[in-house]
């Protein structure tokens, strides 16, 4: 009987597995078929820019990948910018339609896409934008368009930037889980959330100045795109002059209110289509397959572009984590390749492990002896992100980049109060005077605190020396811009923390100039697994992302944000060179 039961279970299991494989085969065949059709674009087409997935600087898809749109969780900024550049010269593409986005991108990423669209317009081709609603960042992107349209019952959010910082002092007292904090003496704002329940005046001032600078950059771009003075744009924001469609149109934020079928009619009219002719649109994901097959830079000599994105953590690293393993491997490979004449390091990171930052910094120093190293900063290149940038031959940042935050700290979790509440007592035994240095279950001793404080101070001094050497300034000058203070790209340029305001393409051009290259190709590093490969690894199990999404759905987005930030602090190891707090700018 057991034999028959086991045999039946085996047969059913095989059938289920065969069925899953067969369904996946059909999906892949369908995708491949649709991909083959999508890359054959009809004449007189409109590129539809729908940015409906999270945007990262780089996904690792260096080759044409027909499955990227299905299995990649994010869109690559590099691919988006390349697609727009190729579309500019593509005779089949007559214009771009920016359609109803809910942008999951950073401000500097948005600014970079906007700049690419502005360049696209120099071809004489049109850009139109349509949305059922515009969030503030969406509108910032749409304002580059020749015409901006909004659903007649839609909404336009235009009120200025704000930022929210979460504080955990009461939470620690209520749970009995405490974060012991060790910081450089003047580096106060870094750990405020664990020491206080409210924002200090100094921290409030620096955040206000930061978001004020970011807003000024946005306003300057919108002013040019919509032909409205910055003064009037600020009045519109202060009076909520875009809160209704009538107000938005009267204030000049939009050109008209249209239903989507009326918007399509506008596109048809611009393309001079007859009534019996179809409106040909091509989605960005489909067009990326075509554009990825075309190179914007060609030459025997190469410039390497190495993408460092995510938190800095000791170890191998990956698509969303900067580790010394994968980044240094890329740097060494580019350094030892004779065809590669210069390196551009693209950094998008709030920082993290000070040790890992210094290990990467050293590899950059060794590389500079053989070929130029240029840094391009993305949305954020702060603290550890600035650490690894500081030694480059030249540093570029977007006006809306968040950088600086030169400072270090350490946090050590302590659960003594919680342990007492639930009846846990821990006893320690050691062989030497310092063998039992710290326990989660005991208060931190003055001796151990001093040891950690000495480590923090030493790391801070090392950080300052790296900045001073890289920027050719004195230690005291570096210290005056440090103390954990965050700066916009505009302010960083004024202070000398960066060399130029510009995007990744500007940094690549500078690398070519320093290498005396007229023609060159681009090689991108590191090499990641494709979205399909990661999907197959997760197949049959539950991915980390799925688990995170389940928790967020169960406890709510706001509670999950608190949980994630607190969990991150509990898991930090070693002295940290990271952003002083999570900035939620909206």
Q: Which residues are catalytic?
A: 188, 383
Place of tokens 């089949």: 92
**H or E element: which one contains 507?**
helix 504-514
Q: How many Cβ atoms are within 10 Å of 232's Cβ, its own excluded?
A: 15
Place of tokens 């001032």: 205
Q: If you write DSSP's letter for every residue of 218-252 in order, what string do you get? A: HHHHHHHHHT--HHHHHHHHHTTTTSSHHHHHHTT
Closest by CA to 71, choosing from 545, 557, 549, is 545
Q: Which two tokens stand for residue 257?
A: 């209110």
421 three-state secondary structure: helix
Q: How many CA atoms lie within 13 A of 523 on its CB side?
A: 21
Q: How many CA atoms lie within 13 A of 16 on its CB side?
A: 7
Q: Which two tokens stand for residue 226?
A: 């919509």
Place of tokens 């190495």: 306
CA separation for the pair 191, 452 (Å, rounded): 15
Q: If you write DSSP's letter for every residue of 102-159 in order, what string do you get? A: ---S-HHHHHHHHHHHHHHHTTT-EEEEEEEEE-HHHHHHHTTSSEEEEEEEEEE--S
Residue 103 · residue 54 · CB < 8 Å = no
Closest by CA to 530, choosing from 26, 65, 24, 27, is 65
Query: Strand pairing partners for 396?
Result: 376, 500
179's CB contacts (< 8 A; 6+ apart) are 168, 172, 191, 194, 411, 412, 413, 414, 569, 570
CA separation for the pair 265, 531 (Å, rounded): 37
Residue 255 · residue 130 · CB < 8 Å = no
384's CB contacts (< 8 A; 6+ apart) are 312, 349, 350, 351, 352, 353, 354, 356, 357, 576, 577, 578
Measured in residues, the chain has a length of 586
Q: Which two tokens stand for residue 329?
A: 């491997």
- Which residues of 275-372 form beta strands (DSSP E)? 281-283, 302-309, 311-312, 321-322, 340-349, 351-353
């Amino acid at each position: 009987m057991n034999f028959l039961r086991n045999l039946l279970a085996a047969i059913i299991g095989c059938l289920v597995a065969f069925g899953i494989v067969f369904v996946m085969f059909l999906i892949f065949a369908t995708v491949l078929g649709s991909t083959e059709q999508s890359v054959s674009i009809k004449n007189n087409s409109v590129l539809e820019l729908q940015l409906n997935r999270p945007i990262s600087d780089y996904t690792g898809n260096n080759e044409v990948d027909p499955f990227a749109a299905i299995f990649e969780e994010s869109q690559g900024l590099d691919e988006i910018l390349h697609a727009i550049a190729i579309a500019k010269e593509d005779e089949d593409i007559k214009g771009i339609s920016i359609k109803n986005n809910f942008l999951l991108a950073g401000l500097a990423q948005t600014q970079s896409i906007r700049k690419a669209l502005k360049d696209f317009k120099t071809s004489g081709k049109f850009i139109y934008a349509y949305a059922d609603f515009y969030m503030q960042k969406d509108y910032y992107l749409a304002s580059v368009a020749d015409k901006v349209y909004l659903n007649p019952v839609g909404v336009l959010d235009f009120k200025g930037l704000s930022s929210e910082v979460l504080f955990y002092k009461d939470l620690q007292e209520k749970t009995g889980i405490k974060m012991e904090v060790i910081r450089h003496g003047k580096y106060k704002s870094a750990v405020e959330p664990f020491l206080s329940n409210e924002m200090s005046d100094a921290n409030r001032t620096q955040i206000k100045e930061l978001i004020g600078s970011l807003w000024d950059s946005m306003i300057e771009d919108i002013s040019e795109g919509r032909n409205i003075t910055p003064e009037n744009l600020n009045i519109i924001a202060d009076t909520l002059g875009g809160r209704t469609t009538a107000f938005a149109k009267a204030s000049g934020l939009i050109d008209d209110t249209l239903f989507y079928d009326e918007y399509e009619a506008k596109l048809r009219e611009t393309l001079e289509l007859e009534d019996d002719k179809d409106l040909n649109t091509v989605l960005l994901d489909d067009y990326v397959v075509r554009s990825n097959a075309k190179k914007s830079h060609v030459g025997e000599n190469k410039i390497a572009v190495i993408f460092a994105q995510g938190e800095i953590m000791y170890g191998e690293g990956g698509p969303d984590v900067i580790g010394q393993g994968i980044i240094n491997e890329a740097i060494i490979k580019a350094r030892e390749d004779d065809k590669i004449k210069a390196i551009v390091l693209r950094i998008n990171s709030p920082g993290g492990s000070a040790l890992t930052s210094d290990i990467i910094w050293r590899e950059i120093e060794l590389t500079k002896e053989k070929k130029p190293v240029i840094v391009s900063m993305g949305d954020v290149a702060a603290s550890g992100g600035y650490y690894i940038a500081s030694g480059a031959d030249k540093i570029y940042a977007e006006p809306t980049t968040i950088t600086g935050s030169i400072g270090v700290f350490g946090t050590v979790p302590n659960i003594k109060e919680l342990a007492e509440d639930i009846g846990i007592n821990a006893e320690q035994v050691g062989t030497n005077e310092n063998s039992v240095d710290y326990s989660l279950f005991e208060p931190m001793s003055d001796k151990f605190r001093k040891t950690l404080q000495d480590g923090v101070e030493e790391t801070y001094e090392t950080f300052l020396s790296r900045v001073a050497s890289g920027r050719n300034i004195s230690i005291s000058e570096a210290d005056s811009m440090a103390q954990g203070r965050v700066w916009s790209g505009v302010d960083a340029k004024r202070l000398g923390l960066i060399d130029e305001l510009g995007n990744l393409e500007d940094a690549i051009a500078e690398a070519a100039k320093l290498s005396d290259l007229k023609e060159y190709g681009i090689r991108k590093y590191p090499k990641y697994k494709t979205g399909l490969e990661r999907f197959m690894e997760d197949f049959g199990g539950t991915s980390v992302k799925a688990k995170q999404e389940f928790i967020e759905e169960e406890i709510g987005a706001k509670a999950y944000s608190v949980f994630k930030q607190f969990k991150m602090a509990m898991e930090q190891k070693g002295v940290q060179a990271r952003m002083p707090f999570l900035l939620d700018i909206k």
